[in-house]
Amino acid sequence: MNSLNNNPLNKLVFLFLPLLFTCCYEKINHVEVVQNDTQIDSLFISEIITERKFQSISTLDAAPLKVDSTIIATIKTSDGKGTYLTIIRPNRDLKITINKDSSLTTNHIADSLLNYLWHSQNAFLGKHSSYIFTSNDTDSLLSTYSTFGKQRASTIEQFSEVLTDENKTFLHYHNTARLNSFLLYYGKFIKSIPYNDDYYGFIDEIENNNRLAKTFPTNLLSKHEINYLNQNDTIVNIISFLAYIDDQTKSKDLSDYLKATYLREIIEDPSEWKFHQPLLRSDELKMVLKREKNNPYYNLIESTTDSYFSSQEGEKAYDFTATRPDGTQLKLSDLRGKLVFIDNWASWCGPCIKHRPIVLEMAERFQDDPKIEVLMISVDASKKDWEDYLTKKDQINNNNDLIIENGMNEPYGERFNIKSIPKYMLIDQDGVIINADLPNPSDKLIELINAELEKI
């Protein structure tokens, strides 16, 4: 607690000021890319709200930037290592610098401040994680975050003379939105604070009809969820919550966007919407999708729902190919006639690593049973990261350990709806999905597997 009272916020500001002062504001109308001893061949610019990848830019040539209104976008390097947030306005030039470590900067102070808000929050969380994640003093936490937000607001105001009013409004909104995003996550998931607790008083300041809510939609959706639960004690059904969103939102465009985002969220991250997930059945989802077919943001949920339906009980499982540590390959169809349990994990995933010893015990427990195969499939982006982890932990198992490189972003991840990990799945002897969203390894899971084995 004393470390928080010593307030390190000024240190964070000075840490990021060099980045801020390397930028300036100027009006131009094309994109120029400068490389500092790098070999990146292209950049991708995607709009945050619609997730539309609207421009691919060669790093060799300047290119026009085709936008007709102000948008918030991400710039990513083709090697996937560099990501940078940017505010793009019509008729304003953008000079992007790619640094030696693949990090990115632009020539606009608003962009530097936007990324300062992003990275300073991560730095603050890292510095105080031991306090934040162990203390139960929520009043102190709220006060600390309020002070942090005021400090960042002061930093934004230091550059007031070179920022447009539009950019200042956006930056101040994002400052508060990032704070609220963490406070909601802390209350709902880290501490499981009841939805009727006074802790959530800060949500009253989240505006229902601010157009910028589209850049942080889960904040507003969480506010609606908390208020809905305080009125009803439980989520009656999916359609009822969608109607509540409509009722609370004056702008049809914002309401449509929130509803599309909500449907995608409960499909992709069901564990984060625990009051809603039990209501998500295939028949009800099909009915809801039919109702939302004319939603202008339907594209946000279309691919997600395809993935959801392909991973449901009774569907034919995708016949993937995975690679063992010794380089040999395995197809799911090679295991026809066996029950197949799959642990989807990665070397960077903390919860996956936490549960891995239990999965290893399961693999050992069933290793002599000819009716079942336990697979531990890594979805690491790099095969080397996976191999290094197994070697370091002395856990290489050529029978059970496999990798589908960058699996979450490949057809494997799409067909099994792998949006987060760990994810545990069970497939029957005919290659049909029994359950693609099993609970964490436990005695209950062993009982479920044994019950299925008795059917073979």
Determine the Cα–Cα distance for residues 146 and 23; give it in Å rounded to an integer: 28
Structure tokens at 352: 């996956």
Written as one string, the DSSP assignment of 382-398 is: -HHHHHHHHHHHT---T
Q: For the whole model, what pTM was predicted?
A: 0.72
pLDDT in tens, the chain (456 residues): 344 444 444 444 444 444 444 444 333 357 788 887 777 878 888 888 877 666 677 766 656 666 767 888 899 887 777 899 998 887 778 888 888 888 899 999 999 999 999 999 989 988 888 888 888 999 999 999 999 999 999 999 999 999 999 999 999 999 999 999 999 999 998 899 999 999 999 999 999 999 999 999 999 999 999 999 999 989 999 999 999 999 999 999 999 999 999 998 888 777 778 888 777 777 778 888 889 999 999 988 887 777 777 788 899 999 999 999 999 999 999 999 999 999 999 998 888 998 999 999 999 999 999 999 999 999 998 899 999 999 887 777 667 999 999 899 899 998 998 988 999 999 999 999 999 988 888 888 999 999 999 998
* Planar angle of CA 413, 415, 420, nearest 5 degrees: 35
| Residue 289 CB neighbour total at 10 angstroms | 16
Written as one string, the DSSP assignment of 242-311 is: HHHHHHH-S-HHHHHHHHHHHHHHHHH-GGG-TTTGGG--HHHHHHHHHHTTT-TTTHHHHHHHHHHHHT
Structure tokens at 21: 């002062």
Give the CA-trace dihedral at 164, 16, 74, 163, to 10 degrees. Answer: 0
From the number of C-beta atoms within 10 Å of its C-beta (0-12, 13-18, 19+), residue 384 rates as: exposed
Q: Which helix (H) or strand (E) holds 146?
A: helix 138-157
Domain chopping of the chain, boundaries:
206-310, 321-453
Q: Which CATH superfamily is domain 321-453 in?
A: Glutaredoxin (3.40.30.10)
Determine the Cα–Cα distance for residues 281 and 86; give it in Å rounded to an integer: 38
- Which residue in 324, 342, 339 sits closest to 415, CA to CA? 342
Rg (CA), the chain: 24
